[in-house]
Structure 1
Amino acid sequence: MKDYLVRATAAGSQIRAFAVTSREMVETARRHHNTSPVATAALGRLLTAGAMMGSMMKNDTDVLTVQIKGSGPIQGLTVTADSHANVKGYVENPDVMLPPKNGKLDVGGALGIGLMNVIKDMGLKEPYVGQTILQTGEIGDDLTYYFANSEQVPSSVGLGVLMEKDNTVKCAGGFIVQVMPFIEEKVLEQLEENIKNIHSVTAMLEKGYTPEQLLSEVLKGMEVEITDTMPTKFYCDCSKEKVAKAIISIGKKDIEEMISEGKDIEVKCHFCNTAYTYSVEELKEILQYAKRK
């Protein structure tokens, strides 16, 4: 099944909801970064959430970034998404290994205690920045807390990544459900009951649930209207030119030192691990450009 995302409303627009299947996206990230199972699960959950949160933005040029910094061995995660649900991301320590906790990958233990930053660049003078303390490090709980506290939107976020025995990704996906200020008490009670009855997102994904079926579980007993369906994927827009700009940012002195060593250098994109090689001649051109700025 190709990765895709659905947007929906329920109970006469009292609820808005998003759901996604993201196995290919998470497997692509795993291959790019050669992540361990627990790092794949952590990055996969945040990529899955990033796709849905990106699709909440209005304009083609809007960019959303979610950064997590934690005290655990994984150290941190960064995911960036656009309004078309294209996402990219990386893990600070992709090799982290931890024993399972309660039979599951210990994402919370890998992240530890820390902070989550959500940055929305919507073309204004300053980007919107929301920051919250990690609640459990399980990412779904942390985003539920972020929406309620930073955006004042009561939400429920469910995310899941299940690994195969060979450490490839078996299935991945999730949902975000948000309630509007005018929600009726009985609708809210029904929603809370439904969410309480969902024991595991991964169990539903393993059964082959589509995004529509995920939402039918979360929004059981309500009239659901699917408003939009869109493809989602891991996509990095890096290029040799863009990475050259990153080299400029390290400063003229460091570029001069690289040139004096007389060797080609290799620079990797953080987000997709693609390696770009720059010859001494190319470094000289970059230095000339930096001096003109």
Structure 2
Amino acid sequence: MKDYLVKAVAYQNQVRAYAVNTTKTVAEAQRRHAALPTATDALGRSMTAGVILGAMLKGEEKVSVKINGGGPLGTILVDSNAKGEVRGYVSNPQTNLEMNEVGKAVGTNGLLTVSKDVGLMHPFVGQIPLVSGEIGEDYTSYLSKSEQTASAVGVDVVMNPDYSVKAAGGFIIQLLPGADEDVMNKIEERMKGIAPLSSVIAEDCTPEQLLEHVLGSENVTMLESMPVQFQCQCSLDRITNAIISLGSEEIQDMIQTDGQAEANCHFCNETYHFDTEQLEALKEVAL
């Protein structure tokens, strides 16, 4: 099954809901960063919630999420947009704890920061102290406190015994303005009695099935779907232009000091190499 996201409404248009399968997307992030299970789980949960936040945007709008709780994982950074494209990295991808304790690996002595570029002069920035480091609870707290939207967030990653990604996915459910106050209580009560998210996504369920599982098939109306993929914004052209922007003197210093230059993208772990001849050519352009 290809990764994709669905948008829906529920409870007679009082709730908006999103669900996504990110199995291949998270597996690609794991491959690029050679991440061990705990790091993969934390990064995958963050990317899953992040791609849903991106799907709430329009056009060329983008969102960035930064999580740093002071734990051994260091910083988790995720970028996504309204097209279902997401990328992410974790500072210490070799982190792996017994029992896969994501909250302990992330830590709680820090912040979750969301920056939205919606085309204005300055981005909208929201920030909250981390609640548990378990990612889903922290995103729930952010949406409820910073964006003043009653929400429920569930994200998870299931690993195979060989450390590969078996399944990844999640959902975000939000009350719409004017909704009855007891609707979220009904949803929360229903969620207490259903199977855990990890066991549901491990069964290779579709995003539609996930929302039906969480909200009840009789309560959900699917609206649209969109593909989801790991997509980095870096490219040879962008790196080349960045070097040119340094100016001819700085490029000459690179040539004299190292005879070469390398640039590595933190998000996709791609390395771009420039030898002396290439740098000389770029120096001429920078003059």
Normalization by structure 2: what TM-score?
0.93
What residue is the counterpart of 1:187 in the other structure?
183
Q: Aligned equivalents of 2:258 and 2:70: distance in 1?
A: 39
Aligned to 1:90: 89
Shift of 1:248: 5.7
List per-residue Cα deviations over 1:193-250 (Å, max 9, x = no partner). Answer: 1222245211101122211111112212752111111110111131112123444677
The separation in 2 between residues aligned to 1:224 and 1:231, in whole angstroms, is: 20
Out of 105, 114, 118, the residue aligned to residue 110 of structure 1 is 105
The CA distance in 1 between the partners of 2:184 and 2:46, in whole Å, is 26
CA contact (8 A) 1:30 1:40 kept: yes
- In structure 2, the partner of 1:47 is 47
Distance (Å, rounded) in 1 between the aligned partners of 2:168 and 2:140: 18
For 2:229, the equivalent position in structure 1 comes to: 233
Taking the TM superposition and a 5 Å limit, the aligned residue runs for 1:61-210 are 61-100=60-99, 105-112=100-107, 113-198=109-194, 200-210=196-206
Q: Which amino acid aligns with 1:71?
A: G
Unaligned runs of 5+ in 2: none
Query: Does the 8 A contact of 2:9 with 2:15 survive in 1?
Result: yes
Residues 26 and 47 in structure 1, CA contact (< 8 A), matched pair in contact too: yes
Distance 1:187 1:249 in 2: 54
Contact 2:248 2:284 in 1 (8 A): no
Superposed counterparts of 1:264-275, under 5 Å: 264-275=260-271
Match of 1:243 in 2: 239
In the aligned structure 2, how far is the partner of 1:256 from the partner of 1:41? 43
1:117-173 CA-partner distances (Å, limit 9, x unpaired): 101111110111111111101110000000001100010000010111111100000
38-47 vs 263-272, greater mean Cα deviation = 263-272
Q: Deviations over 1:243-263 (max 9, x none)?
A: 234446778776443211352
Distance in 1 (alpha carbons) for counterparts of 2:247 and 2:141: 39
Percent identity, aligned pairs only, is 43
Instruction: Decide whether aligned partners of structure 1 residues 205 and 289 sit closer, same or farther in structure 2, where only a CA change above 3 A counts.
Output: same
Deviates more, 1:81-90 or 1:178-187: 178-187
Structure 1 alignment gaps of length 5 or more: none
TM-score by length of 1: 0.91
